[in-house]
Amino acid sequence: MVSSDILYLSASELGKRIQSKALSPVELTKAYLDRSEKFGPKFNAFARLTPEVALEQATAAEKEIGRGHYRGPLHGIPYAAKDLLATKGIPTTWGAKPYENQLFDYDATVVENLRRAGAVLLGKASMIELAGGMNYRFASASLQGAAKNPWNTSCWTCGSSSGSGAIVAAGLAAFAIGTETWGSIVCPSAYCGISGLRPTFGRVSRHGAMALSYSMDKIGPMARSAEDCAHIFAVIAGHDIKDQSTLPLDKAAFTYSPSAELSAKPLRVGWLSNAWKQIDPHAEKAIQAAERTVRKMFPGTRNAALPEGPFEAAGGIIISVEGAAAFRELIRSGKIAQLADPLGQINGYVSEQIEAADYVRALQVRGILQQKMETLFDGFDVLVAAAQPLGANALDANLETDLIFPDPLGGIGNLCGLPALSTPCGFTDQNLPVGLQFVAKAGNDLAVIRAARTFQQHTDWHRKHPKIS
Amino acid sequence: MTPTNTSLSRREFTRRAALGTAATSTMLFSLPDLAAAGPTTLPTQLPSDASKLSPQSQAEAEARYQSILAQYPDRFSEAQKADLKRLCFALQPQLDRLRAWPVANSDQPALYLKPLVEREKKSNAAANLKSAPTPAKSSAPEKP
């Protein structure tokens, strides 16, 4: 019998037990499956469970480890993949009605890499339809319905990796894979009180992943600690000949050993003064305390400011145009009307109308911005700010009208393909998780991992989990 | 905490956040919400700041809307048409802001991670410079 305390251990801790044969991958998988069957529907967390695949992979892992062949820290560890990653013979719905019976005859490279590392596919995580690519007004914009936050089921998990957030927070799997075009890893990680890494653009292959924005989509881990994110990232990162946008071999690959951090140079940290116009009063205390902790941990922390310009507009236009191109047939055929969300049903038509010259101008602005951020990072290794300026919003909120605020850091970070890691840093006075995000220059994913690891070594917010019954 | 309380506090927060923003920029968590660029509006209304658009921008937004109707004449309900019109107008300030940003003819569009490529170019150039043989000293006067 595997207790729920075990199910909330980090993948790194589970891995140690599995390696020492103190924990059976098969028993662990069965326990996660039982828990997921019981609680998954409560949170609308899964698009589907894959018990046959999971038990087959867990049994293979157990036999292999029994023979003395231990593949690494993910061997025998159950995880969930966002339902936009192709899985051979298992429906991949992209969270949307028009694709509810979609089948691929191959695995996404990320899924293949995880299988090679011995990880166990427990199921496909629910998500916002088309990862929000046609936009959405309500949290219910999903084939599985609104994902409910395990900390308070009357609140949302954020999107679009909504199921991935719920699964990790509720202890339904050891980790999950999410994707981000703008906010879809960072925000659900913050809302759900977990650690989420948005890697540098091009470090993780997108072969077999639904395309929304060809120049901005990223795939990354959502887990219980920054260390877990690092181990998962080391498995999924790397050049892929099947994805031309992946970086060259030497720039895409990532190797990680916690001990390597000991000899690393101290990080130069900048606290961003203009990441948010305002912090929600309910979250203010937690963010202020987190800032004090950061300044104490990194004594040289200085204030920093993001450059100002039409960067959110540029990011938005790029996503809208690329999204309209990616789903052109869906829009033109009229099947877009099958989407669940009223905004999603029509917004693609507006995106189609954006002129090519405006798209190119947005790309030019991105080039200028990338240089500005390179210059800013001459003085800093990581920039820090609240991951979101508030805790999770109500499940029935109208996102168009109730949650409008500028997000320059999200815009700039995603437009420039910068790595970011969101770590839990406290709670609102309504007991909802609050996140802190570390952002670094393109290619320096290790810096955000180091910074978040340091934060987590000095705090225990990442070890908190909701009571599920 | 009740959901109602949460909802109210978010609205209050949003209202105040919006007040602090001169040029409205928006984010809908997973994606930038171009459609909701204006402050709170009912779906059937034009954004309240639509009248702040220049006549040219208003005409462009209206043309965008008409173009959609011309391309898909029988596809939308009346409510959807009203919503589409609102979205067409809400997009306009974003486009106007982008176009107002100074961009030179020589500014190249950045499709991917230009800085990574340039960093490599710089380090390669530096390496080449180090490994290059020292040129023989010339007796010719140096150029200014």
- pLDDT given at position B120: 73
**Is A38 annotated in the active site?**
no
* pLDDT band at A59; cut points 50, 70, 90: very high
More confident residue, A349 or A403: A349
Task: Report chain A residues whose CB lies below 8 A from the CB of B31.
Answer: 132-133, 135, 160, 181-184, 316, 319
The length of chain B, given as a count of residues: 144
- pLDDT given at position B1: 33
A297: how many CB neighbours lie within 10 A of its CB? Answer: 16
Residue A262 in 3-state DSSP?
helix
Q: Which residue in A213, A223, A204, A212 sits closest to A108, CA to CA?
A: A204
pLDDT of B28-66, one tens digit each? 333 433 333 333 333 346 776 788 999 999 999 999 999
Share of chain B above pLDDT 70, in %: 53
Catalytic one among A140, A142, A161, A184?
A: A184
Whether B94 sits inside 8 A of A160 (CB atoms) is: no
Which two tokens mark A328? 């052109």
Domain A4-309+365-463: what homologous superfamily? Answer: Amidase signature (AS) domain (3.90.1300.10)
- pLDDT given at position B114: 65
Which two tokens mark A449? 């991992």
Task: Report chain A residues whose CB lies below 8 A from the CB of B113.
Answer: 200-202, 247, 370, 416-417, 442-443
Residue A340 in 3-state DSSP?
coil
Q: Does A202 touch chain B (CB under 8 A)?
A: yes
Half-sphere exposure of A26 (CA within 13 A, CB side): 10
Share of chain A above pLDDT 70, in %: 100
What is the average pLDDT score of chain A? 97
Whether B80 sits inside 8 A of A215 (CB atoms) is: no
- pLDDT given at position B48: 66
CA distance A89 to chain B (A): 28
Residue A457 in 3-state DSSP?
helix
**Is A160 annotated in the active site?**
yes
Please determine, for residue A275, whether its predicted confidence score (pLDDT) is greater than 80: yes
Write a three-state SS string for chain B.
CCHHHHHHHHHHHHHHHHHCCCCCCCCECCECCHHHCCCCCCCCCCCHHHHHCCHHHHHHHHHHHHHHHHHCCCCCCHHHHHHHHHHHHHHHHHHHHHHHCCCCCCCCCCCCCHHHHHHHHHHHHHHHHHHCCCCCCCCCCCCC
* pLDDT band at B109; cut points 50, 70, 90: very high
Residues A439, A91: Cα–Cα separation, whole Å: 35
- pLDDT given at position B100: 97
- pLDDT given at position A263: 73
Residues A158, A147: Cα–Cα separation, whole Å: 8
Please determine, for residue A262, whether its predicted confidence score (pLDDT) is greater than 90: no
Q: Does A184 touch chain B (CB under 8 A)?
A: yes
Whether A313 sits inside 8 A of B95 (CB atoms) is: yes
- Per DSSP, A247 falls in state P
Interfacial B residues in 36-65 facing A (CB < 8 Å): 36, 39-41, 43, 64
- pLDDT given at position B45: 62
- pLDDT given at position B6: 40
- pLDDT given at position A171: 98
pLDDT of A70-93, one tens digit each? 999 999 999 999 999 999 999 999
Range A129-150 average pLDDT:
97
Query: What is the ipTM for the molecules in this complex?
Result: 0.94
Chain B residue closest to A369 (CA)? B110
Task: Report chain A residues whose CB lies below 8 A from the CB of B86.
Answer: none
Interfacial A residues in 348-407 facing B (CB < 8 Å): 349-354, 358, 360-368, 370-371, 373-374, 389-390, 393-397, 399-407
Segments in A44-171 forming alpha helices (H): 51-66, 109-116, 162-169
- pLDDT given at position B123: 74
Chain A residue closest to B112 (CA)? A215
Which residue in the set B1, B24, B107 is minimally distant from A368, CB to CB?
B107
Please determine, for residue B2, whether its predicted confidence score (pLDDT) is greater than 80: no
CB A162 within 8 A of CB A127: yes
Please determine, for residue B5, whether its predicted confidence score (pLDDT) is greater than 50: no
pLDDT of A45-56, one tens digit each? 999 999 999 999
Task: Report chain A residues whose CB lies below 8 A from the CB of B70.
Answer: none
Please determine, for residue A116, whether its predicted confidence score (pLDDT) is greater than 50: yes
Residues B133, A458: Cα–Cα separation, whole Å: 52
* pLDDT band at B124; cut points 50, 70, 90: confident
Task: Report chain B residues whose CB lies below 8 A from the CB of A350.
Answer: 34-35, 64, 68, 84, 87-88, 91
* pLDDT band at A230; cut points 50, 70, 90: very high
Please determine, for residue A286, whether its predicted confidence score (pLDDT) is greater than 50: yes
pLDDT of A362-414, one tens digit each? 999 999 999 999 999 999 999 999 999 999 999 999 999 888 889 999 999 99
Please determine, for residue A100, whether its predicted confidence score (pLDDT) is greater than 80: yes
Chain A residue closest to B105 (CA)? A364
Residues A205, A113: Cα–Cα separation, whole Å: 10
Task: Report chain A residues whose CB lies below 8 A from the CB of B40.
Answer: 401, 404
Range B95-120 average pLDDT:
86
Range A90-112 average pLDDT:
98
